[in-house]
Structures are given as structure tokens and as C-alpha cells.
Amino acid sequence: MKKKEIRERIIKLRLEMSDDEVREKSARVASRVVALPVFQQAETVMSYVAFRNEVETGGIIRTCLAQGKRVVVPVTDRANKRLIPSEVKKFPDDLKPGTWGILEPKAECFRPVEPEVIDLVLVPGVGFDIYGNRLGYGGGFYDRFLPRLSPEATTVALAYQEQLLPDVFPEAHDHPVDFVVTDREVINCRENRLKINFTGKLS
């Protein structure tokens, strides 16, 4: 099955989820995320804003703000095919529908942040494997953005268990994440990559 077909199949499955299912599974993902030491230690957290039945991030963003963390969300620069991190001080008041209808900071609330200061990034996607390889939406925005982070930054993908795939057919330009958190488990992808032996399988 080609990447395009996998992408379409997973998105269709996600869009068929009920509001209750999205809410319940997202809550389970969120509880695992906020329990992670990398989350608790992070001072600046960048999070996507959920769209079209993605794992909800509103609760995590509110938790960050309540704990005094600096919160950053992506602004899509379509002309230059890049993401610009922007600080959010009031959620969701600072936001309005932007590119593709995704909530982004209003013009008067646009507060650019250098990628190098971000400690933790919550990454969206269509599908993931246990090594952190990511099947995105095809625009390459995150693959271009993630290499700009500090080497000390941690990347965590949020997903429903159904988005965990045996293979997402990664390419050379794809940038893997460090963890995948689903409604059922936390996967340390960085550790899994280190365990791969010469056969390409976990040892």
C-alpha cells in the first residue's frame, strides 16, 4: 500500500470517530503526556492545535499555562512552506482559524519564538511506527521545522493506537520523533532506534 493510500485510510478512520471517542481517547493520551518526565521538566512547550479529529491538545495546553510553562503553537507560512512558533498567553482567546481552518494566533497575538529555546514539541501526524518515523500530511512542514530545534529538545507524537503502523515508509528527509504516546501506551522510539540490530529488527 502506498503512502497516499495509507494516509487516506487512516484519516478516514479518524474522521469516523465519534466526539465521545475523540474526547475519551485524547484524555488518555493527555494523562500519559503530562506524566512524562520530559514534560514535567520542560519550560517551553510547543503544541499543535488539534484539527479534524486529531488527538486533542487543549487540555495539555491549559495544563502548561496553569503550571507556568511557556506555550508555543505553530503558525503556517504557506508561501515559504515553514512553521513559525508563536507564544500563546491565553488559550484559546489568542487564536482564530488560520491556514486550512486550523487555530493560529491572531495578528495582534503573534509573538514569534526561536525554535532553539523550545524544550518539548508535541507533534501531529497521520501515522507512526515504533521507531518514531512519521507519516505526515504531505507538506513537509514538520520535517523542515524539527531539525531547527536544539539537540536537547524532545519531540513527542500524539496518536490514537490505530495510527500506530508496522511501516510508514520513511524517506531520507523525514525526521523521526523521540516518543509516540497513544491512548494505550508510551513508546520510547529513541530507545527502539538504538536497539535496532543489523537485520533492521529490534534486538
Where is the binding site, in residues?
A: 3-7, 49, 54, 134-142
Cis status of the peptide bond prior to 92, with omega within 30 of 0 = yes
Cα 154 from chain centroid (whole Å) = 11
Which residues share a beta bridge with 128? Answer: 134, 164
Q: Where is the binding site for ATP, in residues? A: 3-7, 134-142
Distances (CA, A) of 174 to 23, 87, 103, 133: 30, 26, 25, 7
Return the C-alpha cell found at 97.
482559524
Q: Where is the binding site for substrate, in residues? A: 49, 54
CB 134 within 8 A of CB 177: yes
Q: Which residue reads 503556517 in cell numbers?
A: 76
